[in-house]
Structure 1
Amino acid sequence: MTPDPLPRLRALCLALPEVTERISHGEPTWFVRKVFVTYADHHHDDRVAFWCAAAPGEAEAMVAAHPDRFFRPPYVGGRGWLGVWLDVPVDWDEIAEIVADAYRQIAPRRLIDRMPV
């Protein structure tokens, strides 16, 4: 059985400047003024993932290259958001990069400048 990915995802998100967590649409969601990452287990269909903001064209490229690891999430996929499966083997260094990139899409410049290196 794969360990629950929520604590690791939460730690990555909350390590970024001025991030807050609250429940939105029944799931843990991380904000830096606006949503940049949301956990996705609400369909309870035995799939666990997160959805996040992505740079223009990035989500499409990642889904095309690795459809077993990435997907276009419902509702926000049309706005360029990326879905990342967490119920498959994941590289947590890569997940950290994806979360940081999502943060950069939403956070104001003054907070981006304070991000850990």
Structure 2
Amino acid sequence: MTGQTNRSRSRAAPGAGDLQAASARAVGPRAVNDLEAEQLIERRRSPQDRRRHVVEITANGLELLDKAECALAAAENEVLAALDATERETLYSLLQQAANGEGSGSCTEAWVARKASPGNG
């Protein structure tokens, strides 16, 4: 894939069903049913625990995922064309911090702190 960044996810190996099943629970049964109907995933009973389902991506699902990742990379390259590699990595790092809730607290706390600093009366 061209324009692939270090943010790309690694492909789950066959047998990595526990993580995939957890992801399926997070997505919801309707979405899993829809993906299965489109033959993008397969769902089957776990051989270790017949009460659980194992959900794995199919070859069709991988093909569609590859196309989506290529389209995303192309759009990302177009939007971020003005940034060099170092600037992009800085942006990704800052976005990751924001997504993880890292930093100096809420927007309100930052605003109050800024207003309280000298010269911002």
Q: Which of the pair has the greater relative contact order for Cα pairs under 8 Å at 6+ separation?
A: 1
Rg larger in structure: 2
Greater helix share, structure number: 2
